[in-house]
Amino acid sequence: DIQMTQSPSYLSASIGDRVTITCQASQDIVNSLNWFQQHPGKAPKLLISDASKLETGVPSRFSGGGSGTDFTLAISSLQPEDVATYYCQQFDSLPLTFGGGTKVDIK
């Protein structure tokens, strides 16, 4: 199985700060990576597909990058509504696997 390692597991930043979350795959997955956002008590929401494609309706302050084994999710200017847990997910091979999650909070 492909292991997905996210870091950090928790981060606290100020409104307007740029924040970056990293996700590392245990083997080359090319760009077969998605990012999800999950607010407390809610279902996950697809933010970015294929490592860098922003889903329709997702604010442009979100961006994704990387390929191979190393990926990033960046929020250019943190907003209150961005408080959530973020997960990366690989779909290069079954079983699908998710990172452990990064909880983002406001300082």
Question: In angstroms, what is the minimal distance from the CB of 16 to other proteins?
Answer: 28
17, 22, 74, 91: which one binds other proteins (CB under 8 A): 91
User: Which region, judged by CB under 8 A, interacts with other proteins, from 11-19, 43-51, 64-72, 74-82?
Assistant: 43-51
Contact status: 57 vs other proteins (CB under 8 A): no
22, 44, 58, 69: which one binds other proteins (CB under 8 A): 44
Give CA–CA dist 25/22, Å, rounded: 10
Q: Which two tokens stand for residue 71?
A: 């990926």
Q: 86: closest CA among 31, 40, 25, 50?
A: 40
Question: In angstroms, what is the minimal distance from the CB of 70 to other proteins?
Answer: 19
Question: In angstroms, what is the minimal distance from the CB of 4 to other proteins?
Answer: 10
Cis before 8? omega within 30: yes
Cis before 95? omega within 30: yes
